[in-house]
């Protein structure tokens, strides 16, 4: 009895402190979110956190406390205050709980390295892989895959509706496979998702569960019980297979004259003390960062085009009046088409491939974000979905309207799908080249139509750090003049 009473009094006192006395208590947010990480974890693993955080911003404004120690921002100034280098030259570090490390595929890699100095060394090592010279070689590879993709769609499209999401995944994972493991997965050639990729795509949800479990100090001890057996075993197989692939690439050398990402990492392996697991972790991270995201924006683009026949017709007209052969469509040539650029930018806005807030931790002494003082040790981030759907920045934010990128009346700076600052995406140029070439060649060559025009693909999306995309069946008719 006594113990129960003590427990009730202590927890009541703790909740009172969290809600009314805590240094974040003046930030608005739902009490159930402030009282415990359970709310955050539930939203994050529900697949609907993009919508729930947006509703919180609609209700409470630009800054919302949606966890005991967590603030979400949906205002444009927060981009630079959270992610850019600050006046003292320092950056807010990545949240070590979210970017957790261990001794398998979560070993230190380019995305999860949190120490700014160590990250700078790794980023420098990788910068050559993203240089103008490397990009030229990567463009050749992308052109080769774009041509194979056209052929695959032509062939399979003749038999009936095709799931475009698969075709884009096959292409972008094969490209990154060549660059990050030195070998393609062969999905596009075999017209079938390779088992290595299938594990990533089938267990998208596990990323969110993992983040949620680690929010609770003791729960991770039970992680293996809480994770479904198939996910656990799939993850272990995936890790071992990744390590095997990368060590084979190291042993046997590159399979072509192309300088892949691995070449740059191997050159510095001894100097930067990169272990076998770190090597595998870099490749794994590069593949996920570079393929799933590009496949997402391509899938989204074609969905929105099919749903907006007027936009689609205008884009077809731009491409078909400019080119007389799909093989002439290079990144440079496609880069000169303003409406294509506007359609892609609008897809990045309305359907950001990483829709969540990438979490950072405020430094000792705290800092000011978008005019608000935030105490030290708070987890902060700009929630990509909320800011890109904020009517303060984008008129009619739920409408797909590429024209906004030409009129430039909206506050376009609010959309930053690649982030900003020293942790900004390293693959931004490669992503634009890839998306431009593939989108332009497909718009030029095919007339796509949704298999079921009433299917609300956008509404069916589940967000688990990245999107768990539903199938997108389309009819593909080859265009002829």
User: Which amino acids are annotated as binding site for heme, given as ranges?
Assistant: 425
Comparing CA positions, the residue from 441, 439, 447 lying closest to residue 481 is 447
8 Å CB contact between 355 and 385:
yes
- Phi, psi dihedrals of residue 424, rounded to the nearest 5°: -65, 155
Write out the E strands in 37-111: 63-67, 70-73, 93-94
370/433 with CB nearer ligand HEM: 433
Residue 383 CB, shortest distance to ligand HEM, in Å, is 12
Residue 150 CB, shortest distance to ligand HEM, in Å, is 20
Q: How far apart are CA 110 and CA 121, in angstroms?
A: 10
Residue 280 CB, shortest distance to ligand HEM, in Å, is 15
36/172 with CB nearer ligand HEM: 172
Comparing CA positions, the residue from 87, 93, 78, 92 lying closest to residue 413 is 78
Residue 194 CB, shortest distance to ligand HEM, in Å, is 18
111/374 with CB nearer ligand HEM: 111
- Phi, psi dihedrals of residue 448, rounded to the nearest 5°: -95, 150
Comparing CA positions, the residue from 11, 22, 98, 88 lying closest to residue 364 is 88
8 Å CB contact between 114 and 408:
no
3-class SS shares of the chain: helix, strand, coil, % to 5? 55, 10, 35
Alpha helices in 217-269 (DSSP H): 223-226, 229-252, 261-267
37/299 with CB nearer ligand HEM: 299
Residue 200 CB, shortest distance to ligand HEM, in Å, is 15
Helix (H), strand (E) at residue 141:
helix 132-157
Q: How far apart are CA 399 and CA 350, in angstroms?
A: 8
**DSSP designation for 221:** G
Q: How far apart are CA 246 and CA 250, in angstroms?
A: 6
79/444 with CB nearer ligand HEM: 79
Q: Which residues bind ligand HEM (CB under 6 A)?
A: 110-111, 123, 286, 289-290, 293-294, 297, 353-354, 358, 417-419, 423, 425-427, 430-431
25/341 with CB nearer ligand HEM: 341
What residue is closest to ligand HEM based on CB? 427
Q: How far apart are CA 443 and CA 305, in angstroms?
A: 10
Residue 395 CB, shortest distance to ligand HEM, in Å, is 23
The torsion region of residue 354 among left (phi > 0), alpha (psi -120 to 50) and beta comes to beta
Residue 84 CB, shortest distance to ligand HEM, in Å, is 13
Residue 159 CB, shortest distance to ligand HEM, in Å, is 30
Pairing label, strands 367-369, 446-450 = unpaired
What 3-state DSSP class applies to 332? helix
Residue 114 CB, shortest distance to ligand HEM, in Å, is 10
Q: How far apart are CA 168 and CA 188, in angstroms?
A: 9
Q: How far apart are CA 57 and CA 129, in angstroms?
A: 39
For the four alpha carbons of 303, 304, 308 and 311, in that order, the dihedral sign comes to negative
Residue 478 CB, shortest distance to ligand HEM, in Å, is 27
Locus of tokens 């749903």: 307
234/353 with CB nearer ligand HEM: 353
Locus of tokens 């009819």: 475
Locus of tokens 């697991």: 277
């Amino acid at each position: 009895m006594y113990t129960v009473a003590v427990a009730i009094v202590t927890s009541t006192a703790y909740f009172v402190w969290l809600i009314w006395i805590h240094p974040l208590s003046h930030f608005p947010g739902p009490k159930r979110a402030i009282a415990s990480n359970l709310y955050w974890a539930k939203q994050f693993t529900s697949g609907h956190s993009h919508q729930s955080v947006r509703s919180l911003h609609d209700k409470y404004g630009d800054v919302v406390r949606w966890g005991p120690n967590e603030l979400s921002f949906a205002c444009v100034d927060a981009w630079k205050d959270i992610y850019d280098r600050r006046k003292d030259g320092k950056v807010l570090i990545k949240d070590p709980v979210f970017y957790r490390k261990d001794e398998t595929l979560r070993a230190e890699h380019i995305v999860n390295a949190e120490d700014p100095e160590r990250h700078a060394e790794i980023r420098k090592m990788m910068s050559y892989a993203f240089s103008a010279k490397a990009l030229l070689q990567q463009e050749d590879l992308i052109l080769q895959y774009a041509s194979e993709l056209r052929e695959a769609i032509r062939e399979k499209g003749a038999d009936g509706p095709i799931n475009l999401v698969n075709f884009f995944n096959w292409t972008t994972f094969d490209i990154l496979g060549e660059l990050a493991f030195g070998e393609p997965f062969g999905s596009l050639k075999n017209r079938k998702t390779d088992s290595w990729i299938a594990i990533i795509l089938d267990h998208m949800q596990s990323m969110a569960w993992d983040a949620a479990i680690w929010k609770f100090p003791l729960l991770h001890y039970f992680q293996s019980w809480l994770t479904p057996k198939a996910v656990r075993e799939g993850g272990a197989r995936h890790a071992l297979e990744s390590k095997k692939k990368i060590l084979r690439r190291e042993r046997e050398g590159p399979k072509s004259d192309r300088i892949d990402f691995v070449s740059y990492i191997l050159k510095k392996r001894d100097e930067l003390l990169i272990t076998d697991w770190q090597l595998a972790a870099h490749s794994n991270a590069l593949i996920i960062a570079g393929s799933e995201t590009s496949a997402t924006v391509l899938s989204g683009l074609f969905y929105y085009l099919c749903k907006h026949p007027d936009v689609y017709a205008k884009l077809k007209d731009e491409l078909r009046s400019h080119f007389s052969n799909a093989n002439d469509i290079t990144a440079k040539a496609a880069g000169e088409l303003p409406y294509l650029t506007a359609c892609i930018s609008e897809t990045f806005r309305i359907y950001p491939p990483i829709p969540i807030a990438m979490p950072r931790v405020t430094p000792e002494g705290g800092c000011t974000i978008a005019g608000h003082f935030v105490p030290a040790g708070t987890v902060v981030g700009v929630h990509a979905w909320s800011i890109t759907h904020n009517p303060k920045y984008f008129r009619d934010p739920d409408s797909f309207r590429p024209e906004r990128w030409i009129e430039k009346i909206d506050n376009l700076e609010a959309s930053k799908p690649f982030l900003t600052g020293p942790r900004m995406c390293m693959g931004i140029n490669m992503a634009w080249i890839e998306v431009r070439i593939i989108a332009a060649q497909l718009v030029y060559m095919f007339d796509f139509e949704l298999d079921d025009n009433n299917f609300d693909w956008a509404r069916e999306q589940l967000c688990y750090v990245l999107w768990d995309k539903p199938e997108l069946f389309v009819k593909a008719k080859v265009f002829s003049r």
